Amino acid sequence: MFTEGQLYSPVSADADGSVQVHLGENHPGFKDEAYRARRNEIAAAAVSWSPGQPIPQIAYTDQENEVWRIVSRELAPKHERHAHSEYLAAKAALKLPTDRVPQLDEVSALIEPLTGWSYIAAPGLVELRQFYGALGRRVFHSTQYLRHPSEPLYTPEPDIIHEVIGHGNQLASPRFARLTEAAGQASMRLESEEGMQFLADVFWFSMEFGVMWEDGDLKAYGAGILSSYGEMDEYAQMEIRPLDLPQMGSINYDITAYQPVLFAAQNLDELEEVVGVFFDTCTDDSIAALRGVGTPA
């Protein structure tokens, strides 16, 4: 469960159709009027979109494309050094543009032939059940805005760089795609809020912030590490624990800072055997047992 901060800035839509994104005081764009107006504009496109319509096209500005270029350029050598080979192979197969922000339907057209996933637009936070339910159908809800240009190396708030460079490259791997889909399908079996939260937390410490041993080195495969060139420099120095479902599903964490505790799989087979089998088989009852709150005998 996360105890500090909120992942996405809240979005509100008025009856007159105006959409507002409420950036917190600590957001680097809080005092930047032009950035705020742009966030409102991009959120409005997603708010007025509905399934079946063409994905909103965003005319990215030179400054936004520049942020994408800077982050792509900084991430490239760090991926080579620190990303797990499964992610690197998927990234090489996907071939995202590095010089400009892609449209979400372009991202879908690249991923679909590889693993069948597609991207749809989200204004910001998507309710847990809706987000995971879509994962179960191989659909990824993605924001379309970019992080503030003053802090390209890390943002606590997921942006299109995180969703596409982090998750998109990951979802281009059949094995990571399968794990993600299994998490989505698990959500449809769970009725309790506690079960749903536990699932989301196991997902956080695997597909978002997972690390894995490979040839004696600790590599990253989590999308949240792989979209931040700041966090890529730090993760290997954090406290590294072996995979442990009860811990992964219940420790408290702060989403606004580099993750100080990470869970490492021995290899991809172990990730599938522990986290994959959990996603494939979990029920409200099995999660209650993992949480140590099983029905008394």
Footprint of Fe ion (CB under 5 A): 223
Please tell me whether residue 12 adopts helix, strand or coil conformation: strand
For residues 291 and 294, what is the distance between their CA atoms, to the nearest angstrom?
8
Q: Kindly state whether residue 148 participates in binding ligand TIH, applying the rule CB under 6 A.
A: no
Q: Kindly state whether residue 187 participates in binding ligand TIH, applying the rule CB under 6 A.
A: no
CA dihedral 234, 7, 185, 252 (to 10 degrees): 60
Q: Kindly state whether residue 56 participates in binding ligand TIH, applying the rule CB under 6 A.
A: no
- Does residue 66 have a known ligand-binding role? no
Task: Work out how close the CB of 183 gets to Fe ion at its nearest, in angstroms, rounded to a whole number.
Answer: 12
Task: Work out how close the CB of 111 gets to ligand TIH at its nearest, in angstroms, rounded to a whole number.
Answer: 19
> Which active-site residues does the annotation give?
162, 167, 208, 227
**Residue at token pair 């994959």:** 276
Other residues' Cβ atoms within 10 Å of the Cβ of residue 80: 10
- Does residue 162 have a known ligand-binding role? yes
Among 29, 102, 123, 158, binds ligand TIH (CB under 6 A): 158
Among 184, 208, 210, 271, binds ligand TIH (CB under 6 A): 208
Give the bridge partners for 83, in sequence order: 220
Toward ligand TIH, which CB reaches closer, 199 or 290?
Answer: 199
Encoded one letter per residue, x for contact with ligand TIH by CB under 6 A and - for no contact, window 4-23 reads ---x----------------
Residues 6+ apart with CB under 8 A from 252: 1, 2, 3
Task: Name the phi and psi angles at 121, rounded to 5.
Answer: -85, 140
Q: Are strands 239-242 and 118-121 parallel, antiparallel or unpaired?
A: unpaired
Residues 6+ apart with CB under 8 A from 96: 72, 102, 107, 110, 164, 165, 168, 169
Toward ligand TIH, which CB reaches closer, 11 or 290?
Answer: 11
For residue 154, the partner it binds in ligand TIH, Fe ion, none, with Cβ less than 5 to 8 A by kind, is ligand TIH
Q: Kindly state whether residue 224 participates in binding ligand TIH, applying the rule CB under 6 A.
A: yes
Q: Kindly state whether residue 155 participates in binding ligand TIH, applying the rule CB under 6 A.
A: yes
- Does residue 84 have a known ligand-binding role? no
Residue 247 CB-half CA count within 13 A: 12
For residues 25 and 22, what is the distance between their CA atoms, to the nearest angstrom?
9
Part of the chain binding ligand TIH (CB under 6 A), chosen from 34-42, 108-116, 221-229, 245-253: 221-229
Q: What is the binding site for ligand TIH (CB under 6 A)?
A: 7, 154-156, 158, 161-162, 208, 224, 227-228, 255
Residues contributing to the annotated binding site for Fe cation: 162, 167, 208
